[in-house]
Structure 1
């Protein structure tokens, strides 16, 4: 009797609401999957917040309506938590740019969704779910999930490998989850960098009579990684420059900001917000106009997306420049925003055949390589067509060089990409996205060549500049060539030009997103938060 009473009281106590805590159910799968992603280095596991969510889910709740409310809150919290653990940019950045995102064509939107939802990940998730359901019949998975949560820090990869800054690095291997930086005050390093750059100023040479044209070819979506990924490093055009900056960083991974940094490069690197409030002394276009250059803008697109043309005119020192309407040229593809993309060859040929009494400064921007473009007559998505589009552009530029030589025109051609295409992607963002200004996106090939009858006949070898440079190096090279007066009795000396190019620490930024190199390692800061190493 006593033993039976004891068992009955024990059973009643065990089932008392205070002690009757439910299991996680399928929520165990959520925590276990995240543990697997942590081990793979895909996410950073936030132990405290996951443990909080775990407790929230297992606390006994009896009213049915309260159970439903808890599930709604838990799903919302779990989604936000998982997004934070991925290290992706704040979701608010997408909302802030919705006007731009909503202008993407339907075909491009579908293509992006296909990149986000990889077939391999779906297959892996299905296999994991089947295995989970099988084990759940024999093991209490809530206990497994709890053990996974409290031991997750022991599984997280912790070794940090510095990012290789070589010009043609191949981004291979599984990424390693980034950890927060401890013990280094990178905010002070960044502040000191801004202070030094604020004092930097390039002054255009005086008493110089412009006697050659300057063509700046601003290429959207071309980086060293792109050339490597699509096996075009051996294209003959890449060897035809006098000077190649092999370790050049654009300063931003978005078209507008990167282009403005180039056109405002008479000054040093400024914080992102300041490029939208330019000082007159920083504008390359205005300074060259004061020397007597006439200014001209050419595009192979409409220039309306993100008000690109307006930014060049209003913030880039080309306010009263002649604009050559691109709609006069043949269309070769449809842009990612359904607008027409015109022939690079036709636009550049027209530039060469146009005669001006004054020396011309022409800014030409091409978006032929932009992600999402649909090449006329090509079957497949924009990633599949990228190599064809890149090969076409390089061949068009190669032909341009031949035509300039044949014309005996005196011209300085500067090829400066805005940013890369980023079609390989990494742990921080999807292929084709550029919210995070990673080195793969901002590390681009910059090439310069001076043409003219006497210059063309000179025997010289291409010079490669391996030290870290930025937009100020482009302005410096232009001003130095003007000072050398190569067509007015002076001597063109690219070796001396290279020796005097300014070196710049790689600081790469978009709005509230900064990537900075410090002691050979890149670090990332989002929304003024903590710095963490960028590891690939």
Structure 2
């Protein structure tokens, strides 16, 4: 009996090098870089410690544990899941080699590698006198007890706090019916609230008049959909005070684009006449009244499509056609000179020349009204100067584009045409990364990425323009765009001797902040951002 006990006792072994594995995780968790799954790690620890007879079985367990440990480590990070990587695989294949190298260089955090080396030396030094396996086991058990005792308890030294760009700077508006946020932010309550949000959004739609009145005034609508532009980016690049932003009549300062990717952003904007849908519903049939440009076409606005790129990457143009129901032919890019090179190696055409072509074409056209969707991408991550293999800095590119847009608005005013210009960015560039994803990545639609500046300009009005843009601070999203357009389709705003912009923006549809990509949902609840990855539990967004 004593021999058996001794023999079984000899089967117990410490964690060895796996101690360092868990210490690295504890350090990352402390600084907010992990979406730590305490129970999964405890089960893995038990697997590593379970007594096994003989060295051969122990070594076999070590080899089996290597891929398990790597997969669990990945699962504990904020990195995209396997499904997301597989879904984006074809797009990754389209990246230029220089852009892939740039992304890889950004992915490596040399400071963290240095800190990890210091931790390794400390571990090797301390392990000579202290049973580190006991400390690691006790720490992991403690983390599990904390999780069981209170899943909302914060394990980090700094609480999951307000994002860099606050979307709730103004006093909270009255919550829409059924969307009260007084319940505690448990995972079940957050999921229930999100479901109620989508149920409520399915009931909303913009009302467009069936026909224009006899005294309606013809004008053009130009929607400029800019890729990779957010308030956070403007702050990082110190371009928030560029003259362009003073050129508008209305600024939606608290606007949420609801996604971090171009295809879904285009679909959402083209379907802006209905409430916000989930990501999966973007790729399903929807009510015909949801299509903003179809609603305008029924009132005599000729649909037009303009882009400064080919639209091939990510099947962007195809998605606009199939899911956004925008069937207008792409305006010719012949004779337009390339301005920069995109991340996939394709040309990005000169936007100043494209906008001038649009103005020239409208001047010659016999169509009294038009509605143009214009998508442009010179601010996209990985864009480079012609002939260069190095990604160009965002700030100079943004300044050039803002100068071009500002000059275009000035030329429009000189032309005498009546045009409603709406600048509606797709999403931000993520110039400033965070603890969840490095700069340039938008797999997770954080508030810094989806809080974008929206400007509206009425060119050719009879009424004098006000000195400063009217700032709308209430939480708005895509449906507010459709609503403003529906209020001015008769064109009387251009003919009125006086225009009160506050009347045009009064009681705009308000939309709580909910943003969604394929495998990530981020939403504001009780004034703080929360995130759910791959359908799992909700956790506070780490800052």
Q: Same fold (TM over 0.5)?
A: yes
Structure 1 residue 486 displacement after superposition: 2.7
- Cα displacement string for residues 353-388 of structure 1 (whole angstroms, at most 9, x for unaligned residues): 223211221111001111111123668534xx1111
Note closer, same or farther for the CA distance 1:146–1:183 as it changes in structure 2 (3 Å cut).
closer
Structure 1 segment 244-259 matched on structure 2, within 5 A: 244-259=251-266
Match of 2:414?
406
Report if aligned partners of 1:243, 1:494 keep a CA contact under 8 Å in 2: yes
The answer to whether the aligner puts 1:231 opposite 2:238 as a matched pair is: yes
Match of 1:286 among 294, 309, 317: 294
Q: Which moved more, 1:135-144 or 1:268-277?
A: 135-144
The answer to whether the aligner puts 1:204 opposite 2:195 as a matched pair is: no
Match of 1:517 among 506, 513, 524: 524
Match of 2:139 among 132, 144, 148: 148
Structure 1 segment 242-391 matched on structure 2, within 5 A: 242-276=249-283, 277-319=285-327, 321-354=328-361, 355-358=364-367, 359-376=369-386, 380-382=390-392, 385-391=393-399
Structure 1 residue 405 displacement after superposition: 1.4
Match of 1:108 among 72, 88, 99: 99
Structure 1 residue 163 displacement after superposition: 4.1
Report if aligned partners of 1:515, 1:523 keep a CA contact under 8 Å in 2: yes
Report if aligned partners of 1:284, 1:317 keep a CA contact under 8 Å in 2: no
In 2, Cα distance between the equivalents of 1:380 and 1:268? Answer: 41
In 2, Cα distance between the equivalents of 1:188 and 1:227? Answer: 35
Q: How many residues align?
A: 513
Match of 1:185?
189
Note closer, same or farther for the CA distance 1:66–1:495 as it changes in structure 2 (3 Å cut).
same
Note closer, same or farther for the CA distance 1:397–1:431 as it changes in structure 2 (3 Å cut).
same
Structure 1 residue 490 displacement after superposition: 7.3
Provide the secondary structure at the position in 1 that maps to 2:259.
coil
Match of 1:52?
43
Report if aligned partners of 2:33, 2:436 keep a CA contact under 8 Å in 1: no
In 2, Cα distance between the equivalents of 1:274 and 1:60? Answer: 50
Provide the secondary structure at the position in 1 that maps to 2:7.
coil
Report if aligned partners of 1:513, 1:527 keep a CA contact under 8 Å in 2: yes
Match of 1:4?
none
Match of 1:175?
none
Provide the secondary structure at the position in 2 that maps to 1:403.
helix
Match of 2:511?
504
Note closer, same or farther for the CA distance 1:201–1:167 as it changes in structure 2 (3 Å cut).
closer
Structure 1 residue 58 displacement after superposition: 2.9
Structure 1 residue 464 displacement after superposition: 0.3
Match of 1:530?
537
5+ residue gaps, structure 1, are 1-8, 170-179
In 2, Cα distance between the equivalents of 1:47 and 1:214? Answer: 53
In 1, Cα distance between the equivalents of 2:165 and 2:107? Answer: 28
Structure 1 segment 114-129 matched on structure 2, within 5 A: 114-129=105-120
Structure 1 segment 469-508 matched on structure 2, within 5 A: 469-483=476-490, 485-488=492-495, 492-508=499-515
Note closer, same or farther for the CA distance 1:403–1:85 as it changes in structure 2 (3 Å cut).
same
5+ residue gaps, structure 2, are 147-153, 170-183
Provide the secondary structure at the position in 2 that maps to 1:413.
strand
Q: Which moved more, 1:181-190 or 1:196-205?
A: 181-190
Note closer, same or farther for the CA distance 1:85–1:289 as it changes in structure 2 (3 Å cut).
same
The answer to whether the aligner puts 1:463 opposite 2:473 as a matched pair is: no
Note closer, same or farther for the CA distance 1:286–1:184 as it changes in structure 2 (3 Å cut).
same
In 2, Cα distance between the equivalents of 1:274 and 1:507? Answer: 15
In 1, Cα distance between the equivalents of 2:138 and 2:526? Answer: 38
- Cα displacement string for residues 396-441 of structure 1 (whole angstroms, at most 9, x for unaligned residues): 1111111111212211110000000112122222221112111111
Structure 1 residue 62 displacement after superposition: 4.8
Q: Which moved more, 1:344-353 or 1:238-247?
A: 344-353
- Cα displacement string for residues 114-166 of structure 1 (whole angstroms, at most 9, x for unaligned residues): 12211111111122222222222333332332233233467922744344663
Match of 2:181?
none
- Cα displacement string for residues 502-533 of structure 1 (whole angstroms, at most 9, x for unaligned residues): 11111111224222222222222223322222
Provide the secondary structure at the position in 2 that maps to 1:297.
strand
After TM superposition, the score normalised by the length of structure 2 is 0.88
- Cα displacement string for residues 190-219 of structure 1 (whole angstroms, at most 9, x for unaligned residues): 222222221211122322445111111000
Query: How large is the RMSD of aligned CA atoms in angstroms?
Result: 2.5
Match of 2:441?
433
In 2, Cα distance between the equivalents of 1:441 and 1:397? Answer: 22
In 2, Cα distance between the equivalents of 1:411 and 1:367? Answer: 23
In 2, Cα distance between the equivalents of 1:334 and 1:165? Answer: 30
